[in-house]
Amino acid sequence: MSAPDAGPLYDQVALVTGASRGIGRAVALELAGAGARVVLAARTATEGVHPLPGSLAATAAAIRERGGEAWEMPVDISEEANCAALIEAIEARLGAVDVLVNNAALTYFEPVSSLKPGRWLRSFAVNVHAPYWLSRLVLPGMRARRSGRIINVSSIAAVGPGRGPYTAPGRGGTLYGMEKAALERFTQGLAQEVYQDGVGVAAVAPSDIVVTPGTTYHGLVTGPDDPRAEPPAYMAQAVRLLATLPLAEMTGVVTYSQRLLAQYGLLDAAHGPGVDRPGSGYSTT
């Protein structure tokens, strides 16, 4: 990380959802290191109120220890009114949001046949509706300044399993994959709508499964030494890159972390299924 007072995002307001742990925590630290004043949004305010480790307080403390600025704002973004209150509070305290990172996710790995409607709707509210609500709320400030970046965190799950026959029933990722596919289409549609206003919109997905408390809990990785895994730093660096690239170079991009970093010489050798596996709309050009 560069010194916060010398970074390319110096004094910009960055909002990161899901900032209590995992990718969101890493992204918040990276943007703070680039000089941004980072607003941390998540449900877990302090340690011990969630079964997984990580909290807004812990992320904020890590940022401040490095000389950065962070504001903790506990919030449940599955409700539109809560999203509106969040943006209102940020604008009253810090001014308009310059960088929005829609990272928060709620995932139930269950087959459609057993997934309860309430879980389906709540997951959609966090993973699809909240990025829409928050983007819509920050756009007036971005348009007024003719600058701003909205970055959506996607997943390789957006690319479906392809045509059968199938040898296994899958791992219950239909809902999550559908949500991330919707988020990617939202990304490029919104990018087209606001390009003339100077606002850039992009999406980035991990090239491999990222080691987080959540992926470890669900058994998707065994831990930091899992050879299939990608460190959270790759996604954090990719988000920072998208937040600092020129508008025409980043807007409408839907890509993978390692592919993007390798393209800009920030990673010596890219690997993982996301690097060479094309998906609908996936492009870094």
Could you list the active site residues? 176
Q: Is 76 exposed, middle or buried (0-12, 13-18, 19+ CB in 10 A)?
A: middle
Beta carbons within 8 Å of 107's beta carbon, 6+ residues apart: 123, 127, 176, 214, 218
Exposed/middle/buried for residue 8 (C-beta within 10 Å: 0-12, 13-18, 19+): middle
Across the beta sheet with 199-205, the strand order is 69-74, 37-42, 13-17, 99-102, 148-153, 199-205, 254-256
Burial class (CB in 10 A: 0-12, 13-18, 19+), 15: buried
> Quick one: tokens of 196?
């003339």
